[in-house]
Amino acid sequence: MTRQRAALLDAIDDQEEFRSAQEIHRELQQRGEKVGLATVYRGLQRLAGTGDVDTVKTGEGENLYRRCATREHHHHLVCRVCGRAEEIDGPTVEEWARTTGEAYGFADITHEVELFGTCAACRGSASVSVRQGSSPDS
């Protein structure tokens, strides 16, 4: 494992919310790591491909990254203000995807379902501003 990849994993392990590659890159720079933004993007894509990090896509199409507690298939409920995320099961979604695929003669169905909203803590704060990259219309 390269030093840069180890630094990237350390930065991701320290976060609880989904963050953009730019945010992770900025944190690495603040830690004194000499790593380019393109290297961060490539590293995150590799880690997502191996299942070591999860991604969610914002309403604007930007990928956000986080290391999840489980590598099993799951979905996320993400606060569009603070970025806090909850890992959720979706048995109804799973059944709907399977039966919809079967109804149209498809097999080996995959899907991505992410829910975005505003958490109770952010709803209670006086000044709520939408997290950069997350659309209130998502």
What is the distance between the alpha carbons of residues 15 and 124, in angstroms, rounded to a whole number? 23
Q: Does residue 133 carry a pLDDT above 50? A: no
Residues found in the chain: 138
pLDDT, tens digit (0-9, with 9 covering 90-100), for 70-119: 777 778 888 888 878 888 888 888 889 999 999 999 999 988 888 889 99
pLDDT band at 16 (very low <50, low <70, confident <90, very high): confident
pLDDT (tens digit per residue) in 19-50: 999 999 999 999 999 889 999 999 999 988 88
- Identify which of 22, 26, 28, 23 has the alpha carbon closest to the alpha carbon of residue 5: 28
**pLDDT value at residue 77:** 86
Distance from C-alpha of 86 to C-alpha of 104, rounded to nearest angstrom = 32
Residue for token pair 């999840």? 68
Look at residue 28 in the predicted model and tell me its pLDDT: 93
pTM for the whole structure: 0.67
